[in-house]
Structure formats: structure tokens, C-alpha cells
């Protein structure tokens, strides 16, 4: 078997037919880029690919015994898959086989509450349908489990509450690509693998790229790794979520794709980078940026237009960062258990766009505020906060003379920097965010989108008055039982994956740090006996579990 290490310091190049511009990546820059990957010499494969001024550069790092002689490693794209689903939809639009303003119900009769939902709503993530991955998890499926369409459709029943009104908010969801995949198959009469193969992958000679559906035999075992202490455990990912996350590809094929895509030769290519608009004319914005037709995100990065995307599933991670004005695309693929590898792509952009970035960085430094709060004022801001739109629980903590923004589910802390008594800058790995306190609550602004967090009066679980809520709860649609119990003087919610602490936040309301059970509310009778447990998170709302027996 062949090993590709950092110390070899070579770059694999793919020749191109077109005449290359004079400007390209020099050896010093390549050495600096390769040095970024020094920590991955003893892990499973991590690869980068760059399209710069129409020239291709790539390299792979890792230990030989984790992969075969074929250095063109196979990866699952995970959350970057919808980019290709969207391209197929726009192809059908160009051929007049559908219109983006068509209602989805005109194509599908599956057991979904599709009334009033248009194809464009699925692209801009405003359908308000319960979220695909969240429902899959609630139904007891892991990332490694097959999730057949028949089961998914059964879960997407009309009895499930929508997360809001159609077009009332933008919420990133695997539901869009799941339903769009079904539309593509209905319109074309082919599986998405067949249609994509004939209309996209074969024409571009992307020979190792395909959608993996329930009835699609895998061409080989697609293996990734998860890290267990100091060991890497192999994982064969056998899920078949073709539209939301099931694209199989290689770095070579992705380089072919983005080299083609950056040329913008076709009308479909040009449309992919356009920003989606809501019905009120505003841009479809998320915390990651404005959404493009191509299901990527765009915003201004230190004065430069950046279009990016990312995904992870089952030990695989993928990301792409594109700077169209500078003819630059950076791809990172890994199968070593990283859940996010985008930091490597941005570090590469720092090396290649240093001169373009430098003046903007200096402006940011000059604009940094210099303001101090009194200890009493900082202390008054500490506590627990909750966002009822996305069901996020956050804590503001004081460490010495510094305010920290704590994310319990990730055990992460970010510094909060004051600019005056009410306004602050939250310093995160993804850029600065604006925070403003409005009396006891704060508003967090991410790329123009406001999220309100209300301050909570935490209830002591010992005196919460919920002694009669313990017991088993059952949901007929999901065929799942969950249990509420007392453990070590606190309430926990239990399922087959373990038990998870619940924090009382008010009258009959709880939050937890696990995504599956972000927010729980309990309906009781006049004797405080629990009747119905409703579970919500950002992907579903008020899913009811009826009490079937009490704890002994």
C-alpha cells in the first residue's frame, strides 16, 4: 500500500486544455498549504483540492494502512449533496419540465402535508415541514442506518405539526432535498442516480460520482473512521439518504466539477450562485449566510465575496470555499472523524488571498472597541437564556473580568466583548456576531438575522412540583417509547441510547443538551399527574408522546 505524507511535499496536478494565466500558486504557498496538514500524518485520509485561475492543485495526507493503493479516495459528501440535487432541479426547469413556482403536490401524492408548498419553498427552506434528519433521529435511526422512503413517508404524516407558517422563516433542512429528489424521480421517470449519471456525471466524465439510494448497490464499501480515544475505528456507512446526504464522490471528480462550474458557461451554472429571495423580496438568509439556488451560502468575508458549503456524516466531513471574484475554489474532504474541516479551507484562503485580506483585516483591527463594563453590570448579564424559535439553551458566564457565551451541547465558550452598556460583539470561530441586551433578554444578530434569547428563572428540580411525571411515554407514529425518570436528584429523559439530564425552566417545561430532546413540555391533570409529553427542537414541534404507565 502507498502512503502520502506531508513530508513528501508533492502536489498532484491535473492538466487542463485551456491556456493558463500567468498567475498561479507558487512553491512557497504550496509549502505553507501542505504544512497546515501536519497533524494528519497518522490519521485516515484528509485531502485538499484547489481550482485557482483555472489550474488544479491537490494533495492527500494520512497513514498508509487506512486506505488502499488507490490514492483517489472515495468520500460521502453528506450535507454538500443538496448542491447537486438543486442543479438537477434547475436542469429540469431549463427543459420546461417543471417551474419553480409549481406546487409540489402537483407532482407527488405521498403522505406529506404539501398543500401550498412550492418547489421554490423547498430550495429556500421555507416549507415549514418537519426536518428530515431530526425525524429520523426521533424515530430511532442512527446516521449509519438505512432509512427507506416508505418509513420516511410514514413519519411525515399529516398529524405532525408544521414548525410554523409556510414562508414565515428560513430553516435549513434535509426535507427540501428529500422531497426534491422525489420530484426529480417523478418528472423524469428515473431514479436520481440514473438521471444524474446521464445528465451530469457522464457528460463531465465524473466517473466515480453517484447518488446512493435504497436500491442502489454500493460499488464498494464506503469506509470512514471515528476516533475512539487514540484509536480510529472503521465505520461502513450504510444509509441511503440519496437526496439529503447520499452522494459518493472523489476529490478528482469534485475538481472536475468546480473547474467546470466556475466557468459559468451554461445558464444553469450562472443561476446556481444567485441568492434566493423570499416572497417579501428579502434575501433568504441563515446564520451561515444567504442561500443560493445552488444550496450554498454566501456572505462577505473580510471584504471579499465568499460562497461556501459544508457537510459531515458517519466520520466523513466535506467543505468548499469559493471566491468567484478571484477564480478560487478550495475543497476539503476527510474521513477521520472530523465533524467540521472547513477551518483548513479558510486557512488555505488566508495564504492565497493574503494581500486581498490584509487591508480589510487592518480595518477590522482599527474598528475594535475599547470599552469596559463594571463588575456589577457584567454579573447582572450572567445566567441561563433560551431561544424559543430554534429551542437553543445558552448560558452567559463570567470568568474573571471576561463575559463568556457558553454552548452546553458542545462545551464551547466564546468571548463577549462590550462596545457600550447594552451592545456587544460575540467573537466566534465563524466571525464576529452582534449582541444587544434589551432589558433582561438579548438579541443575537447573525448575518442580518435576529435571534431573541429570553432570560430564564431556573427552577430547582428538587422543588419543581413534577413528582408525578415519571413514567413511560409512547408515540404511535414513531413506534417509540421514551421514559422520564429521577436519577441523582434530577429529572432525566431516557431512550435506548441512554439517559439525558433535563433542566426545569418554568411551569411544566424542560430543556436538555441533546438535540433530540431540546425542549420538553408536559400536560398534567388537576392532580399534577402527567398526561402528554410534547417534544420540540428546531426540526419538529410539539410531537406528542402519551403516558402509558407510571414509574414504580
Walk along the chain (552 residues) and give the pLDDT tens digit of each residue.
222 222 222 222 323 333 334 478 999 999 999 999 999 988 999 999 999 999 999 999 988 777 554 456 889 999 999 999 999 999 999 999 999 999 999 998 766 778 899 999 999 999 999 998 888 888 888 766 777 666 667 677 667 888 888 988 898 899 999 999 999 999 999 999 999 999 999 999 999 999 986 566 656 567 888 888 778 888 877 666 788 888 999 999 999 999 998 888 888 999 999 999 999 898 999 888 899 999 999 988 888 899 999 999 888 999 999 999 999 999 999 999 998 999 999 999 999 998 777 655 555 545 556 788 999 999 999 999 999 888 888 999 999 889 999 998 778 899 999 999 999 999 987 778 999 999 999 999 987 788 999 998 877 666 555 667 889 999 988 888 999 988 887 889 998 888 888 888 877 889 888 888 999 998 887 777 778 999 999 889 999 999 998 765
Rounded CA-CA distance 272/226 in Å is 33
342-352 helix and 354-366 helix, angle to the nearest 10 degrees? 100
- Dihedral pair phi/psi, residue 510, rounded to 5°: -140, 155
* Three-class SS state of 410: coil
* Three-class SS state of 376: helix
Please report the pLDDT score of residue 3 as a whole number. Answer: 27
Q: Report the greatest alpha carbon distance in the chain.
A: 80
Rounded CA-CA distance 543/480 in Å is 12
Q: How far apart are the two ends of the chain, measured CA to CA in Å?
A: 59
Pick from 49, 101, 108: nearest CA to 73:
49
Burial class (CB in 10 A: 0-12, 13-18, 19+), 3: middle
Contact 86, 276 (CB under 8 A): no
Rounded CA-CA distance 105/428 in Å is 41
Rounded CA-CA distance 110/182 in Å is 9
Phi-psi region of 268 (alpha: psi -120 to 50; beta: other; left: phi over 0): alpha
Neighbours of 286 (CB within 10 A): 18
Contact 88, 105 (CB under 8 A): no
Pick from 276, 254, 142, 153: nearest CA to 209:
254
Please report the pLDDT score of residue 15 as a whole number. Answer: 30
Rounded CA-CA distance 184/195 in Å is 8
State pTM to two decimals.
0.85
- Dihedral pair phi/psi, residue 40, rounded to 5°: -110, 15
Please report the pLDDT score of residue 504 as a whole number. Answer: 86
Please report the pLDDT score of residue 464 as a whole number. Answer: 55
CB neighbour list of residue 408: distance below 8 Å, 6 or more residues apart: 393, 394, 395, 513
Rounded CA-CA distance 196/217 in Å is 16
DSSP 413-447: EEEEEESSSSEEEEEETTEEEEEEEETTEEEEEET
Phi-psi region of 449 (alpha: psi -120 to 50; beta: other; left: phi over 0): beta
* Three-class SS state of 278: coil
Amino acid at each position: 500500500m502507498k502512503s502520502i505524507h506531508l513530508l513528501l511535499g508533492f502536489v498532484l496536478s491535473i492538466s487542463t486544455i485551456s491556456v493558463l494565466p500567468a498567475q498561479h500558486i507558487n512553491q512557497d504557498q504550496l509549502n505553507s498549504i501542505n504544512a497546515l496538514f501536519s497533524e494528519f500524518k497518522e490519521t485516515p485520509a484528509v485531502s485538499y483540492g484547489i481550482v485557482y485561475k483555472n489550474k488544479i492543485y491537490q494533495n492527500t495526507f494520512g497513514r498508509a494502512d487506512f486506505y488502499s493503493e488507490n490514492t483517489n479516495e472515495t468520500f460521502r459528501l453528506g450535507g454538500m449533496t443538496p448542491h447537486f440535487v438543486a442543479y438537477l432541479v434547475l436542469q429540469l426547469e431549463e427543459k420546461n419540465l417543471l417551474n419553480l413556482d409549481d406546487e409540489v403536490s402537483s407532482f407527488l401524492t405521498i403522505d406529506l402535508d404539501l398543500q401550498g408548498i412550492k418547489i421554490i419553498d423547498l430550495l429556500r427552506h421555507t416549507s415549514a415541514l418537519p426536518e428530515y434528519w431530526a425525524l429520523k433521529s426521533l424515530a430511532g435511526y442512527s446516521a449509519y442506518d438505512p432509512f427507506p422512503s416508505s418509513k420516511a413517508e410514514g413519519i411525515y404524516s399529516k398529524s405532525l405539526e408544521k414548525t410554523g407558517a409556510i414562508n414565515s422563516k428560513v430553516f435549513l433542512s434535509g426535507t427540501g432535498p428529500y422531497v426534491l429528489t422525489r420530484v426529480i424521480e417523478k418528472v423524469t421517470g428515473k431514479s436520481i442516480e440514473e438521471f444524474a449519471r446521464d445528465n451530469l456525471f457522464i457528460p463531465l466524465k465524473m466517473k466515480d460520482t453517484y447518488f446512493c439510494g435504497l436500491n442502489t448497490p454500493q460499488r464498494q464499501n464506503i469506509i470512514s473512521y471515528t476516533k475512539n480515544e487514540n484509536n480510529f475505528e472503521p465505520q461502513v456507512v450504510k444509509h441511503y439518504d440519496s437526496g439529503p446526504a447520499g452522494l459518493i464522490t472523489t476529490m478528482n471528480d469534485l475538481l472536475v466539477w468546480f473547474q467546470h462550474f466556475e466557468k459559468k458557461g451554461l445558464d444553469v451554472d450562472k443561476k446556481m450562485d444567485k441568492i434566493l429571495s423570499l416572497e417579501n423580496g428579502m434575501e433568504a438568509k441563515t446564520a451561515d449566510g444567504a442561500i443560493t439556488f445552488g444550496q450554498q451560502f454566501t456572505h462577505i468575508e473580510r471584504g471579499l465575496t465568499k460562497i461556501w458549503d459544508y457537510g459531515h456524516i458517519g466520520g466523513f466531513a466535506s467543505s468548499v470555499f469559493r471566491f468567484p471574484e478571484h477564480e478560487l475554489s478550495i475543497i476539503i474532504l476527510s474521513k477521520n472523524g472530523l465533524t467540521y474541516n472547513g477551518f483548513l479551507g479558510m486557512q488555505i484562503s488566508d495564504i492565497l488571498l493574503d494581500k486581498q485580506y490584509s487591508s480589510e483585516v487592518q480595518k477590522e483591527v482599527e474598528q475594535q472597541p475599547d470599552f469596559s463594563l463594571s463588575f456589577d453590570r457584567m454579573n447582572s448579564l450572567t445566567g441561563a437564556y433560551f431561544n424559543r424559535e430554534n429551542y437553543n439553551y445558552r448560558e452567559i458566564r463570567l470568568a474573571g473580568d471576561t463575559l463568556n457565551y457558553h454552548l452546553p451541547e458542545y462545551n464551547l465558550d466564546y468571548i463577549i466583548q462590550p462596545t457600550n452598556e447594552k451592545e456587544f460583539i460575540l467573537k466566534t470561530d465563524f466571525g464576529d456576531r452582534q449582541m444587544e441586551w434589551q432589558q433582561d433578554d438579548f438579541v443575537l444578530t447573525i448575518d442580518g438575522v435576529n435571534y431573541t434569547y429570553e432570560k430564564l428563572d431556573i427552577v430547582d428540580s428538587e422543588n419543581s412540583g413534577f413528582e408525578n411525571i415519571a413514567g413511560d411515554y409512547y408515540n404511535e407514529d414513531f413506534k417509540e417509547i421514551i421514559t422520564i425518570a429521577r436519577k441523582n436528584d434530577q429529572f432525566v429523559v431516557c431512550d435506548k441510547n441512554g439517559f439525558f439530564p433535563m433542566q426545569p425552566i418554568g411551569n411544566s417545561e424542560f430543556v436538555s443538551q441533546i438535540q433530540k430532546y431540546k425542549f420538553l413540555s408536559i400536560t398534567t391533570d388537576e392532580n399534577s399527574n402527567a398526561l402528554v409529553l410534547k417534544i420540540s427542537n428546531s426540526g419538529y414541534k410539539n410531537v406528542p408522546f402519551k403516558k402509558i404507565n407510571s414509574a414504580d
